[in-house]
Amino acid sequence: MAFTLAEIAARFGGRVVGEPQVLIRQVGTLERAGEGQIAFLANPRYRAQLAATRAAAVIIAADAETLTARPCIVCDNPYAYFARVSQLFNPDAVAVPGVQPGAHVAAGAHIDALARVEAGATVEPGAVIGAGCWIGAGSFVGQGVALGEGCRLHPSVVVYAGCRIGARAILHSGAVIGADGFGIARDGERWVKVPQIGGVRIGDDVEIGANTTVDRGAIEDTVIEDGVKLDNQIQIGHNCRVGAHSAIAGCAGLAGSVSVGRRCTIGAGAIVLGHLSICDDAHVSADTVISRSIRKPGTYTGLFPFDDHRSWARNTALLRHLAELADRVRRLEQQLSQKDPPHG
């Protein structure tokens, strides 16, 4: 598979600078790309590598156009453009339809003729597997689960009973969808389990990383909307809602009943405490603990050493007013300097 720069630009847009008939067969990095490979520059810190690259062509923004003599495609968002070009040269594998020997498909399950179920996988009664789905070896699809067209469950994915997954979802190995949420009520010295009778609803074009868990709702469903991207080892608690096209990095956690808006990002290791809301277009930095709702778009960051809770809460309250206190001190110093000018 090979395309000229002109053919790539005709497909994805952008402006070709230099020889448009340069032939591209694969993507590469600025540092290591060679003949037939196209690289990209999205971060200014790699401009030195751009000057030295041996790539056949480069994807760049307009402000970097004069920094290389290599043929290039100039576009507004080089990284997103590179992603599309990489998809062009590295398309997803297509499922070879059929139920392999060693798979267990219960009576009453519906497997589309264009779906694939690998050996060791289990599909329980009432499950509906759409066209083009690919159920990997050792995966489990519970009773009454529905998978939209083109879903990919990599080996050893578990989808509990009653969950709904939209079209073209990708679930990586070890993902667990629909396990019980952490619903327990204290009764004296003991805990009483609260039955988790909701489900999980996942939209179209969602990707869920390895060993990530999405708990079922206590009464109503946990909801992951269209286009959400979840990294590895994330915990999504019961009755959470993650808005469309949001992305959450590895080892982050949402406690129960958190609502995350659309187009949000949550950095690696961040924690959102239960029953809080995050508005659309909010961005939470890595390792930040969100302890109150976010109501305005923007970027939020916070690291603070642990302490006994009472001291921590008092110190945190003071920190919130630190800028105000600094302004007051500055004003007082100015007033004192005016009343008592320095002696020469």
Output the DSSP codes for 227-268. Answer: T-EE-TT-EE-TT-EE-TT-EE-TT-EE-TT-EE-TT-EE-T
Give me 83's structure tokens. 């992603």
**CA-CA distance, 170 to 166, in Å (whole number)?**
10
**CA-CA distance, 174 to 233, in Å (whole number)?**
9
The answer to whether the beta carbons of residues 285 and 267 sit under 8 Å apart is yes
The answer to whether the beta carbons of residues 205 and 227 sit under 8 Å apart is yes
The answer to whether the beta carbons of residues 129 and 123 sit under 8 Å apart is yes
Write down how long the chain is: 344
Instruction: Give yes or no: 238 in active site.
Output: yes
The alpha carbon torsion through 90, 96, 101, 103 (nearest 10 deg) reads 70
**Which of the residues 104, 110, 172, 238 is marked catalytic?**
238
Catalytically active residues, by annotation: 238
